[in-house]
Structure 1
Amino acid sequence: MSGFDTFEKLGDGCEICVTEEHTFGTDAFLLADFARARHKDIVCDLGTGCGIIAVLEKLRYAPKKVYGIDIQEQAIQQFKVTVERSSLEDVYPLHMDLRSLTKEAPLDICDLVTCNPPYKAYKAGIESELDAHKIARHEILCNINDVCAAAKRLLKFGGRLCICNRPERLADVIAAMRSNGIEPKNLRFVSKSPDSAPWLFLIEGRKGGGAFMKVMPQLYISGTGGVSPELAAIYGHYSENSVKGE
């Protein structure tokens, strides 16, 4: 009835609805692991797409409530199919623009906000052909400051914002966090191997936090004969079918 018939198996009998327009990759698993919601947390994932990060947080950490916000209607419809098919409780897909959050959003009550934002600035680099991919990868409908401004509205004092992005955007992300009263507290770079430059970073900021940032040990994707032990452990919380390339 939904028109969607492709699903990826995760853990605990969960199947997430995916399409060519809205799917997921390694960075979603890395961000969910980095964010590590607590059982009592109210969580909101911005630009949630098919809902992968929200679902991963729910499956592994069982937070109190999980919201996922996206401006693209198809993405939210896929997320709703996943919630219904997998019988996920206290998971709420919301179709709205993060730049103009309505009262339906969990304003001022979130303990954790996550976002895997568009990595590329508007008109930077080669744009994807599919409109959905352009929106997901380029700052067409929102930029990093919009993301941090939305997080500021969602988070309660002391709440955390966790973001992943490309290393060339690090200065932009830190500046956007600070301009919205969110102080960067933890930073971790991700490389394919010890002899390669980072291709991703993970950063956590705290609303109203003091000025001090810890740089964590680097995370490596590749290891002897395949993925690194740490990445294998991250994937190990879910089925083998959920392992994706970046």
Structure 2
Amino acid sequence: MSQNKGNYTLDGVGDIYIYQPQKGYRFSVDSLLLFLYSPVVKKNNILDIGAGTGILSFLFADKYPQKKIISYEIQKEFVKLMKKGIKTNKFKNIQIKQKDIKKIDFKSIKTKFDLVVCNPPYRKYGHGRLSPYQNKNIAIYDKYLKISDLLGITEKLMNVSTVLSIVNLYENKKYIKKMVDKTGLSIKKEIIFLKNNTNKFIIFHIKNRYDQKSEKKYVSENEWKSKVEKLYNK
């Protein structure tokens, strides 16, 4: 379901509604895969870094109504749309903050997180053609959030149970693993999604390095498309 609201649309994913710009950045299937294949949250709360217009925060808030979802987004336009979405969906467990996460002292945050989720920019700034829409450029190019920044921030928040779950294009796998190796973190799980018989997306579950177990999983196109369809039809 999608309703035209002038400069933005109101879109439905199951029984969740999200406001998005009519033109420019709009969430896509990689965000839905990140939700569907993130680890179960048992005890603590969830941090959504680069929340966009709220798709991940909303899905997790609906799944875990007793958990606190703290969301950070740098773009004022997206924060406004996310606040409209929070009101429309009547969520009581989301805190949205418009801030550049690189400027936040996360060591001072007392909230404990079981899960940190992020769909980070997947293109290096200066490589590729820019969109005429600045909101899309900020979302897909790493000028404002590099993988190294994300890992450094998350490392400060890590406790025994915390998992950082990120999604990216499979072609960026080697670069991301190289960045992880420079930290005190390690990749505990790789989930690789096939599309048209090629590796399209990859999700990493990242934890403290003390945990040496690691696994890899491949997900067929039929499997992940079926799960996405069920999510929309919920």
TM bucket by the smaller chain? Answer: 0.7 to 0.9
Question: What number of residue pairs does the alignment pair up?
Answer: 229
Residue 58 (structure 1) aligned with residue 61 (structure 2): yes
Correspondent of 1:156 among 159, 169, 178: 159
Structure 1 residue 220: Cα displacement: 2.6
Any idea what the Cα deviations from partners look like across 1:47-80, whole Å, max 9, x if unmatched?
Answer: 1101111111222344611111111111111111
Correspondent of 2:134 among 127, 131, 135: 131
For residues 103 and 186 of structure 1, do their structure 2 counterparts lie closer, same or farther at Cα, with a shift above 3 Å needed? closer
Structure 1: gaps of 5 or more residues: 222-227, 241-246
Residue in structure 1 matched with residue 20 of structure 2 by the alignment: 18
Q: Answer yes or no: is the 8 Å Cα contact 1:112–1:155 preserved in 2.
A: no
For residues 159 and 39 of structure 1, do their structure 2 counterparts lie closer, same or farther at Cα, with a shift above 3 Å needed? closer
Q: Secondary structure at the match of 1:89?
A: coil
Q: Answer yes or no: is the 8 Å Cα contact 1:38–1:62 preserved in 2.
A: no
- After TM superposition, list the pairs within 5 Å mapping 1:208-219 onto structure 2: 208-216=209-217, 218-219=218-219
TM-score in terms of structure 1 length: 0.83
Partner letter of residue 194 of structure 2?
A: S
Structure 1 residue 104: Cα displacement: 11
Q: Answer yes or no: is the 8 Å Cα contact 2:49–2:72 preserved in 1.
A: yes
Residue in structure 1 matched with residue 75 of structure 2 by the alignment: 72
Any idea what the Cα deviations from partners look like across 1:173-217, whole Å, max 9, x if unmatched?
Answer: 223233332210000111114xx221111110113442332111x
For residues 231 and 144 of structure 1, do their structure 2 counterparts lie closer, same or farther at Cα, with a shift above 3 Å needed? same
Partner letter of residue 165 of structure 2?
A: C
> For structure 1, which segment, 172-181 or 162-171, has the greater mean C-alpha deviation from structure 2 after superposition?
172-181
Correspondent of 1:97 among 91, 97, 100: 100
How many angstroms apart in 1 are the aligned matches of 2:125 and 2:106? Answer: 29
TM-score in terms of structure 2 length: 0.87
Partner letter of residue 200 of structure 2?
A: W
For residues 105 and 115 of structure 1, do their structure 2 counterparts lie closer, same or farther at Cα, with a shift above 3 Å needed? farther
Structure 2: gaps of 5 or more residues: none
Structure 1 residue 156: Cα displacement: 2.6
How many angstroms apart in 1 are the aligned matches of 2:52 and 2:170? Answer: 22
Q: Answer yes or no: is the 8 Å Cα contact 1:22–1:75 preserved in 2.
A: no
For residues 44 and 202 of structure 1, do their structure 2 counterparts lie closer, same or farther at Cα, with a shift above 3 Å needed? same
Residue in structure 2 matched with residue 142 of structure 1 by the alignment: 145
Residue in structure 2 matched with residue 220 of structure 1 by the alignment: 220
For residues 68 and 114 of structure 1, do their structure 2 counterparts lie closer, same or farther at Cα, with a shift above 3 Å needed? same
Residue in structure 2 matched with residue 205 of structure 1 by the alignment: 206
Structure 1 residue 128: Cα displacement: 2.0
Q: Secondary structure at the match of 1:126?
A: coil
Partner letter of residue 54 of structure 1?
A: S
Correspondent of 1:186 among 186, 189, 208: 189
Structure 1 residue 158: Cα displacement: 3.2
Q: Secondary structure at the match of 1:185?
A: strand
How many angstroms apart in 2 are the aligned matches of 1:22 and 1:80? Answer: 17
